[in-house]
Amino acid sequence: MTSSLNPDSLPCLGTGLSTDLYFPPLDDLLNTLAKNALQPDFVEVFRGRTVDLKHAREHIVPPAIPMTYHGDALWYTDPAFEHHPAYRRETCRANRHLDVTGSPWMIHECARKAVSGRTFGYYVPPVLEPSVARIIRQNGLLLSSRLEGRTLLIEIPPFPFFSMGQLPCGEFFRQILEQTPLGMGLDIGHALTAFCLEQPIFSPARFAEWIRNTFPLEHIVEIHVGGLLSLQGTSHPALWDDHRAPVPSVLWESFDAVLATCPLPSLKAVALEVDNKEIPSIVSEFRTFREIVRRSWSPHRERRNPLPEDDKTGQVISSRKDLSPERQPADVSAVESLDLLLLETLLDGKSPAPEWTRGDPALYRERIYTDEIWEFGGHLPDLFPRTIHLVSRFIADPRTDFVSFFHRVAWTDRDPYDYLRAKTIATRMWVEHLVQEKFIHGEAAKHVLQTVREEAEQILFDQDTVNGDPCPRADNPGGCSSCDRPFTGTSLSANPSSSLPDGGL
């Protein structure tokens, strides 16, 4: 039996900020907050370069303020996680980041940016099925075992206008976390996107009761609040997670209701997410955030609300299933089939059985996916200004043409994280395709090929310079034992009898 989370082993950090190292500039942000008597209790930073994180710890964040770490690129939701060498390298990188920041845990979205060889800029949430929960549980435990004593917090992801799978969101996370040492990150905005897909009527009180009655409260270590948008003119509630956006009143009220209503015996930290937001807005929102926390949560007093109990037994609510990997082996083949179904639903408009889909996947396909390809990681005309200028002389709508081309390209041999790299290589391939198919010809073809290769080479060089974080032990004789050492754990088994919602693929 896997040991349970021990909250007493984790420090209580209080009220802090979660931000990017680079924008807003961390030193400017902290100086402005200090001038406004709004110094945070801790600072959580997103994945960056080890040297930059080290500089932040030693020269920007005051020594008395703890730092925590928001990881990325470790997609433990991926059925290939155990065997993909890129994840071993990323785990080594994450440990370097945890070392230099001194963070007691790593919080990481329970999502992906690569599914069955396709690359996405935005988080793709998991299919809410028991087989997927078992994969995530097992991979999460594998990752946790390699964090050198630090705790892994599984964060609920945003659900971009839809969710797939038959499990309620709270039960899905209960099946992942129950009877494990893994913690949970509860992002209030992300949870709202799930709630509005599951429940027909919203109020902050109903939302807080939904959290209280369905989520594994004893595992929640950290709470996040960030910007949120609401799309208009849709048949379903359409909430969109965007940290650049203001925190709307409905999100403040929901956060307040959760703190006031839910017993949270393991909660150690609450953070306002402010990456990519202007500093004056952050000052105003952090003041509101602190007022709510001071009113509704005290980390040092005993919770006045008990954990919810089962009506019949009086025991704390938990899943009745024995979820140990030995009793419920992870089924890779079933999850891989669900991944294919997810892709066909998102990208091709496939319609699974109604009980398998909440919300409207077409909203993602029509409102997010196209913009994501053209905009995310850099607006394509800004990345390739000379190339797009030349292409536009021959192609009436370069945006539509590029998105259509990108949609057809699989990235099975690429690193499972770097969207900008994938986008850059796709742009070069797109131009080569246009020349090959004679859409661009003659001397112009030679010129545009030379131009796109020059611009792509510069982008890849800049990306390695700015974001590259090679392991310092990689050049040692024998390489790095952490980067090269395979994950170890219970072998994943396949169950050929598993079925799919609409008859299979």
pLDDT value of position 4: 87
CATH number assigned to the domain comprising residue 167? 3.20.20.150
Last residue of one domain, picked from the residues 246, 276, 294:
294
pLDDT for 433 equals 96
Q: Is residue 26 part of a domain?
A: yes
- 95-99: list long-range contacts, CB under 8 Å, 24+ apart: 95/146, 95/147, 95/148, 95/482, 96/50, 96/469, 96/471, 97/47, 97/48, 97/50, 97/53, 97/69, 97/71, 98/69, 98/147, 98/148, 98/150
Q: Which of 250, 279, 294 is the last residue of a domain?
A: 294
Q: Provide block-wise average pLDDT over 10 residues at a time, the chain (505 residues).
A: 81 97 94 98 96 97 98 93 90 97 98 85 92 96 97 96 94 97 98 93 96 98 94 69 91 97 97 96 98 88 54 38 49 89 86 85 85 89 98 96 85 64 92 96 96 97 85 79 69 32 32
Q: Which pLDDT score is estimated for 481?
A: 78
Classify residue 304 as exposed, middle or buried by CB count within 10 Å of its CB (0-12, 13-18, 19+).
exposed
In this structure, are 39 and 186 located in the same domain? yes
Tell whether 325 is covered by a domain. no
pLDDT at position 356 is: 86
Asked if the structure places residue 189 within a domain, the reply is: yes
Q: 242, 263, 294 — which closes off a domain? A: 294
Same domain as 403, residue 261 = no
473/337 Cα distance (integer angstroms): 38
User: Are residue 199 and residue 96 in the same domain, yes or no?
Assistant: yes
Supply the pLDDT for residue 499.
Answer: 33
Cis peptide before 24 (omega within 30 of 0): yes
Looking at residue 302, its pLDDT comes to 40
What is the C-alpha to C-alpha distance for residues 471 and 468, in angstroms, rounded to an integer?
10
Q: Let me know if residue 237 belongs to a domain.
A: yes
Question: What confidence score (pLDDT) does residue 111 get?
Answer: 96
Q: How many CB atoms lie within 10 A of CB 190?
A: 26
Domain count, the chain: 2
Give the range of the structural domain holding residue 22, as residue numbers without chain letter.
8-294
Listed in sequence order, the DSSP H helices in 102-168 are 130-145
Strand segments, DSSP code E, in 326-405 are 357-359
Tell me, yes or no, whether 138 lies in a domain.
Answer: yes
Same domain, 284 and 384: no
pLDDT value at residue 460: 93
d(CA 45, CA 150): 16
